[in-house]
Chains A and B, each alone.
Chain A
Amino acid sequence: MSEQVQINDLAIIKVENLEHSFGEFKAVDGISFTVKKGEIFSFLGPNGAGKSTAINILITLLAKQKGNASVAGYDVTKDPQKVRESIGIVFQDITLDRDMTVWEILEFHGRLYNMPREERKKRIDELLHLVQLDAKKDERTKNLSGGMKRRLEIARGLMTRPKVLFLDEPTIGLDPQTRMRMWEYIKGVNNEGTTIFLTTHYMDEADQLSDRISIIDQGKIVISGKPWELKNTLGQDLIYMETNDNEAAIRLLKNLPSVRDVKIKTKGFVLMVNDDGTKVLPIVIDTLRNAGIDTSTINLKKPSMDDVFVFYTGKEIRDEPTGKAAFLTMRPGGR
């Protein structure tokens, strides 16, 4: 009994069978998940997957249609005021007044949340220091760089010492170095005890930052877990091969004990293996050679979050180059 209470205590966000439609279009189609106190939880999915709709319901900007959702112990429909008092938000687009100064942006937020004057003053100084904007205190926000604006918004989100900080695509449009620095800030904030709910369509971001990830696609959660758990579902290693008779090769290799699954590609195929790939590879090559099949290309690698994503959603996120192409990418005609 007491353990039950404790578990409930730990679930700072609880969502059950949440559904939301815009006209005919089901943006969120019956999702359920919990976020534990103190963790960084990510929604990973392509644009239009339903991430922002879900977040907008949780932050009470969008009225809930179906299902249950509570944040910090308060129902988003019954106690929206309490939810609002408990959270901080960094919106997807920059939401700053170009002509207000850094200090004014934070002061405005503090006043909006009815913080006492002394506390506002103290908190603003603390936060400007945290996000290293002390020197920009009296600068108008239009003169800040993209990364500085984001840092200012994170500081604003933290003004009221929220229990949960919602970050909707926090690093969208930032250069790689700035993104990396943002991750450090986010981790730092999390280390101070703030639970973080993050949405992103960057695989590496979700992988690097999150304690747990839910991959969301077309309004549904396709899989949830810790980053390594998700990657392990694809097996320990991935082996990409091209041979002179792919069909025969696949037929043979499918039956090997360590091969979990085979994905067919345009020119070759990928073996998902349960054991250490370096040990499996010789067996694979021997098997093919004995059957008289010639191998022209071999590549061995660990599954990445990109591979996980492609495997579970059947598509690649294309709009932002991540530097490395997903191993399991399905090319047109390769399905």
Chain B
Amino acid sequence: MPMGFTTIYWRDMIRFVRFKTLLVSSLLQPALWLAFFGIAMSSSFDKLMAGIPVPPGMHVVGYLTFMGAGIIAMTTLFTSLFGGIVILFDKNWGLMREILASPMNRNHIIFGIGLSGVTKSFIQAIIIMVFGILIGAAFFAGFSPVDIIVGIVGILAFVGMFALGFLFLSAAIAISMESPEGLQGVTTLLTMPIFFASNALYPTDAFPEFLKILSVYNPMTLLITGIRYFVIGPDFIALGKHYQYTQSDILMSYLGLMVFTALMFVLAWWRFKKAVVT
């Protein structure tokens, strides 16, 4: 039974827990986003929205709850896009030559890195959910215990698939790059449109046409749709907009993420097949 990817996973997790500052900051950072950005924005948005009448019987959620889903997605995006950096370090100063000269199939490198990135994202997503509830986000409000369990599983399924896709992308970029600065530049460049052309912080209805199209096919939007469905519910009002998700909407979003992840895997597989490190 080949255990190549578990070896890569094991080694990456050693690094994750060993660098204490990195560990703490990566766990603290999403909580801080939620605490500062979330509370600041929600206090002003909720005041603005207070005057707008709401149809009776509707489930209205505050901005903190609305953007909490966006923060989970954002954290996953950042963590995953930078997740491949270990490959670059290994290539320049570390173990990559040893790994490439070993009999292990190169796909195991991609999967190992993917798996450790997904683990990190799971931990972060759970921290945000717990911390969000602590500071007053109405996550899982009105859910039965079974619904909550289904919700958490659903969120992790979405986060996992999305993280895997961006980790594959990150790995593909990292193995093709020469310097950490290059990777940082490319990922920063990618983060901006992916994050802001999505429904993470605001509804996308008022977007100009081209941005709207971009946001519909944006994996980030697909992820956030999934998270909101599982953490808030299929029918709610936020920022004065009525959100309704059917089960097939959610299924389509997940399928979209799967297609994205599969494409990114092919990209990574191709880059690793070509990789020459001497």
Contact = CB atoms under 8 A, between A and B. Distances in A.
A123 to B, nearest CB: 16
B276 interface: yes
A108 interface: yes
Given A100-B11, A113-B103, A108 B19 contact: no
Contacts of A113: 102-104
Interface in B10-30: 10-11, 14-15, 18-19
A95 B3 contact: no
A33 interface: no
A61 B102 contact: no
Interface stretch (B37-45, B46-54, B91-99, B144-152): B91-99
Contacts of B96: 95
Nearest to B15: A99
Contact of A108 (B11, B93, B276, B278): B11
B97 A62 contact: no
Nearest to A157: B98
Given A81-B103, A99-B15, A99-B19, A112 B98 contact: yes
Interface in B97-140: 97-104
A104 B11 CA distance: 8
Interface string A88-127: 0101000111111000100011011110000000000000
Contacts of A97: 11, 15, 90, 94-95
Contacts of A59: 101
A95 B103 contact: no
B97 A112 contact: no
A275 B46 CA distance: 103
Contacts of A245: none
A63 B278 CA distance: 11
Interface in A58-106: 59-63, 81, 84-85, 89, 91, 95-100, 104
A84 B3 contact: no
A56 interface: yes
Given A59-B101, A61-B278, A111 B14 contact: no
B102 A112 contact: yes
B98 A84 contact: no
B95 A99 contact: no
A81 B278 CA distance: 18
Interface in A40-55: 52
Interface residues of A, number: 26
A156 B97 CA distance: 13
A203 B88 CA distance: 35
A103 to B, nearest CB: 11
Contacts of A111: 3, 6-7, 10
Contacts of B101: 59-61, 84, 89
Contacts, number: 71
B277 interface: yes
A109 B10 CA distance: 12
Interface in B190-241: none
A70 B93 CA distance: 29
B88 to A, nearest CB: 13
Contact of A100 (B14, B104, B277): B14
B276 A84 contact: no
B3 to A, nearest CB: 7
A89 B98 contact: yes
Contacts of B18: 99
A38 to B, nearest CB: 23
A28 to B, nearest CB: 13
A60 B103 CA distance: 10
Nearest to B276: A62
Contacts of A95: 93-98
Counting chain B CB atoms within 10 Å of each CB, the highest count among A61, A84, A108, A112 belongs to A112
A217 B14 CA distance: 44
Contacts of A60: 101
B99 A112 contact: yes
Nearest to A89: B101
B154 interface: no
Contacts of B11: 97, 100, 104, 108
A172 to B, nearest CB: 16
A213 B19 CA distance: 46
Contact of B14 (A96, A104, A112): A104
B56 interface: no
Contacts of A96: 94-95
A82 to B, nearest CB: 8
B119 to A, nearest CB: 18
A219 B134 CA distance: 68
Contact of A61 (B6, B15, B277): B277
A109 to B, nearest CB: 7
A113 B97 CA distance: 14
Given A100-B14, A114-B3, A62 B98 contact: no
A63 B100 CA distance: 13
Interface of B: 2-4, 6-7, 10-11, 14-15, 18-19, 90, 93-104, 276-278
Interface of A: 52, 56, 59-63, 81, 84-85, 89, 91, 95-100, 104, 108-109, 111-114, 156
12 contacts: A61-B100, A61-B276, A95-B96, A100-B14, A108-B7, A108-B11, A109-B98, A112-B4, A112-B7, A112-B102, A113-B102, A114-B4
Listed from nearest, the 10 A-B pairs whose CB atoms lie closest are: A111-B7, A84-B103, A112-B102, A56-B278, A85-B103, A97-B94, A81-B103, A61-B278, A95-B97, A59-B101
